[in-house]
Structure 1
Amino acid sequence: MSRGFTPLTVGQIVDKVITPPAPFRVTAFDGSTAGPADAELALEITSPDALAYIVTAPGDLGLARAYITGSLRVTGDEPGHPYLVFDHLQHLYDQIRRPSAKDLLDIARSLKAMGAIKVQPAPEQETLPGWKRAILEGLSRHSPERDKEVVSRHYDVGNDFYELFLGDSMAYTCAYYPEFDGENQVTGPTGGWRYDDWEKGPTANGPLTQAQDNKHRLVFDKLRLNPGDRLLDVGCGWGGMVRYAARHGVKAIGVTLSREQYEWGKAKIEEEGLQDLAEVRCMDYRDVPESDFDAVSAIGILEHIGVPNYEDYFTRLFAKLRPGGRMLNHCITRPHNRKTKTGQFIDRYIFPDGELTGSGRIITIMQDTGFDVVHEENLRPHYQRTLHDWCELLATNWDQAVHLVGEETARLFGLYMAGSEWGFEHNVIQLHQVLGVKPDAAGSSGVPVRQWWRS
């Protein structure tokens, strides 16, 4: 260390890179502090590892690595529902300032002195970026083999773990809450929806279960399914839509690439005595041999397909329908129609190879592949509410979640779901259902000219 140089503390470094007042109270392993003492949230930097993560991957990825490993801890927010941190992060990004050349040099020398200038190994839950996976694994993006590996990585964490926050419904997609037609559908100053009166903790399970059942009812009704009809459910998850259809007399086949989802769904079908009508398969949707289905439901699969593959995806599913058959596509979208990757955090930890675009692009491609698109709607507030309920259940069952999968994985899911809740509230992401019909040879879709389902 140069003669006369006194290393900066962590608190002093924070003060040099963030315009005061900082949105957080910061306490550090060296005993220093920064930010208002009465801040709503406090960040505890428990070791130089947190700084190493942030220095080597500035932005969301570095912060996520530090948070997941516990080298960065948050107080004032629930560990299973760290929602408030995302509001404060927006303020943080607005307040970051570029230090002077001298300050930058002092910061670098200080970080080196405290052991924070190093390549810190990523948490074991993190996967490589897509281009590195392609080189090392020799698997092209969205090949059947790579899609199966990606799905297994996220969904085969363990059914017992998913049950802790998905509740009785075991549905990992947007639910549908009809009460949004009433007092809860009120926009606030940020354009989001009120959630102060939403159920907290374990009491969220009842409304969530009812809302997931209502989502399946909405999809079922939009598809105009009747007893004796045949349904193909692609990306069926744990089989909730398949079982709902079978309970209403429809012959339903569901396919998933997740072995654990398949095993759980198969056992549930047997438990409910639905074997004559319901079937789940561990299979790629591209390998389904049957055709002439009355309807296809696709609930939360398009996010995994990749925008360049949309035409092939909709063409294949169009071919699976009889003339007059219906398809409902339910997926997360952007509020614009540009193709966007999901960001480093989501790509490395949650849904590798995932891509999103807007509902307009989806509708255009459905039309170009032959569908008569008869309806679409945005369920954005409903997914915000769904994620809120999942987070509340995870927070309630936090100790059990940590016991099952470890604290790092539990933190990862809490961070992902709370961030997604924030994203739906602030219109960063949306959820659209698009209903299309395969016309007959005369061009007729054979559906009523008015909406036939109950909202």
Structure 2
Amino acid sequence: MTRNGTSTPTVADMVKAVTTPPLPLRITAYDGSAVGPRDAGLELHVKSPRALNYLATAPGDLGLARAYITGELIASGVEPGNPYAAFDSLQACKEHLRRPTPAGMRTISRLLRHEGLHRPEVPEIETPPAWRRALAGARPHTEAADKDTVSSHYDRSNRFYSLVLGPSMTYTCALFDSPDTSLEDAQRRKINLVLDKLDLAPGQRLLDIGCGWGSVLVAAARRGIRAIGVTLSEPQARWANAWLAREGLDDLAQARVIDYREVPERDFDGICSLGMMEHVGVRHYDEYFRIMFSLLRPGGRLLNHQITRRDTSQRNGAGAFVGRYIFPDGELAAPGVVMTHLHDAGLEIVHAENQRQHYALTLEHWCRNLQAHWDEAVESGGSQTALLWGLYMAGARWNFERNNIQIHQFLAVRPDEDTGGHWYPLRPWWDA
């Protein structure tokens, strides 16, 4: 094909060089070329040569994400706040990828030379790779590095998160009675399940590690439980403490900006950790659970709620996209690995359950919220953040639905040798 009277290849020529027909989507480009069926459910428009540079310098999910959140790659036929419908086509497209022939490589090289191949600046919301942060002194999972990575994820905008999460401000998997259950009812049920499993009486003491915006603190204080929440995000702590004050519960509960490794109190009756373990790092699981053991009184209970891999054949580390944009230094382990570390720390597991399907439903609701409040979300968090969160949450929903990732609750107890081995009831004491 020719362009402007020359034999310069088109974007469509480049796509044909690395794929086999028929494509499950349509690709159009700034140069007027197109490939793929006209009636495809998904159309990707390559808006500029800058998009090509993103794709060429970071092939795969990372390059696609960079082009998408900067607006250089436009997906038609899907909502920006809820691009879930694109993932089946994108997954199917991977089956059509092929290694280019020598002639195909020449086509790609000529196009990239014509467009001026270079490494473009990465989007402003992208976190540097782990090796670069380590060179700068931020060794993964030290207290300083954890504070930086947590801030990169949670300190974007409280207003933005309120639009996505809804009034509960709960950023973990909800618990649905049915697909028709509202998000608020499902989050309330999840929090009640956590507190019911811990079975704390009024006046007893709870530590919430990674307390977020304080939803568990508020619910615990309403039961008369004395609660401390810890987070590395100052905006989260301010929100949580303001919420407790509005409810008249600040004499019972408080949120602190402190690393869990620095909590001075001991002998808690219960500890919960909801959605925090993703940040810990698998190599630090032993340390983490040993600290949980030391913070609990004998007979005290730990409720650990975390995203997991499906099995040990999957890698622990996050992919390039998730590692740069969502959970820097984040790692996931298979549920059996988590259980081993819990036992090795001296804790006894009482109960475990997989809530994978519930997280898929939760993410569906969050995407709907973002879609419904799109203009406000862009105003409060910026267009890149809004596009990123729609992409991330829709992709996470797709993976939870297909059992590529799971989420587990583990209920464990610190043994109390003074009770002769009877440190919890014979049968579950909570309403499942």
TM-score exceeds 0.5? yes
- The one-character-per-residue Cα deviations of 1:348-401 (angstroms, maximum 9, x if unpaired) are 111101011011111111111111111100000000000000000000100111
Contact 1:437/1:445, CA 8 A, preserved across alignment = no
Give 1:445 shift. Answer: 4.7
Superimposed CA distance per residue, residues 106-126 of structure 1 (whole angstroms, 9 cap, x where no aligned partner): 2211222133x1111110111
2:391 matched to 1:451? Answer: no
CA contact (8 A) 2:17 2:101 kept: no
Structure 2 contact 9–111 (Cα < 8 Å) conserved = yes
Tell me the alpha carbon deviations over residues 412-433 of structure 1, each in whole angstroms, 9 at most, x when there is no partner. 1111111111110111110000
**Deviation of residue 446 (structure 1)?**
1.8
What is the rounded CA distance, in whole Å, between the counterparts of 1:410 and 1:153 in structure 2?
A: 15
> Which residue does 2:355 correspond to in 1?
379
Letter in 2 for 1:171: T
Q: 2:319 aligns with which of 338, 343, 354?
A: 343
Alignment partners' CA distance in 2, 1:444 and 1:330? 25
RMSD (CA atoms)? 1.5
Aligned residues: 427
Normalised TM-score (structure 1): 0.92
Matching residue of 1:262: 237
Q: Distance in 2 between matches of 1:105 and 1:287?
A: 58
* Contact 1:294-1:321 at 8 Å conserved across structures: yes
Q: CA deviation at 1:5?
A: 7.0
Mapped to 2, the partners of 1:303 and 1:329 lie a distance apart of 11
Q: Report the alpha carbon displacement of residue 16 of structure 1 after superposing the two structures with TM.
A: 2.5
Letter in 2 for 1:265: A
1:324 touches 1:445 (CA, 8 Å); kept in 2? no
* Corresponding position: 1:150 with 2:149: yes
Query: Could you say which residue in structure 1 is the equivalent of 2:183?
Result: 208
> Do the aligned partners of 2:45 and 2:73 also contact (CA within 8 Å) in 1?
yes
Q: 1:382 is paired with a residue of what secondary structure?
A: helix
Distance in 1 between the 2:14 and 2:238 partners? 52
The answer to whether the Cα contact below 8 Å between 1:438 and 1:445 also exists between their aligned partners in 2 is no
Q: Is the 8 A contact 2:18 2:104 kept in 1?
A: no
Q: Distance in 2 between matches of 1:110 and 1:319?
A: 61
Residue 37 and residue 438 in structure 1: after superposition, are their counterparts in 2 closer, same or farther (change >3 A)? same
SS in 1 for 2:217: helix
**Seq. identity, %:** 51
- The within-5 A match list for 1:315-334 is 315-334=290-309
1:14 CA drift (Å):
1.6
Rounded to whole Å, the distance in 2 between the matches of 1:445 and 1:399 is 56
Preserved contact between residue 400 and residue 406 of structure 2 (Cα < 8 Å): yes
Alpha-carbon displacement from aligned partner over 1:160-205 (angstroms, at most 9, x marks no partner): 11011100000111111122xxxx5xxxxxxxxxxxxx5xxxxxxx
Q: How far apart, CA to CA, are the structure 2 residues paired with 1:249 and 1:80?
A: 39
**Which residues in structure 2 correspond to 1:404-415 (within 5 Å)?**
404-415=380-391
Code of the residue aligned with 1:436 in structure 2: it is A
- Change over 3 Å in CA distance of 1:445–1:32 after alignment to 2: farther
The 8 Å contact of residues 372 and 445 in structure 1, kept in 2 or not, is answered as no
Q: Distance in 2 between matches of 1:415 and 1:42?
A: 16
Matches within 5 A, 1:144-293: 144-179=143-178, 207-293=182-268
Change (3 A) 1:317 1:445: farther
Question: What is the aligned partner in structure 1 of residue 66 from structure 2?
Answer: 65
The aligned residue for residue 87 of structure 1 is 88
SS at match of 2:78: coil
Residue type at the aligned position of 1:124: E
1:314 match: 289
Matched, 1:140 2:128: no
Q: CA deviation at 1:99?
A: 2.2
Residue equivalent to 1:188: none
Any conservation in 2 of the 1:170–1:240 contact (CA below 8 Å)? yes
TM-superposed CA distance for 1:39, in Å, is 0.2
Unaligned runs of 5+ in 1: 185-197, 199-205
Letter of the 2:197 counterpart: K
CA–CA distance in structure 1, aligned partners of residues 109 and 379 of structure 2 = 39
Measure the CA separation in 2 of the matches of 1:305 and 1:155. Answer: 15
The secondary structure found in structure 1 opposite 2:182 is helix
Runs of 4+ in 1 over 4 A off after TM superposition: none
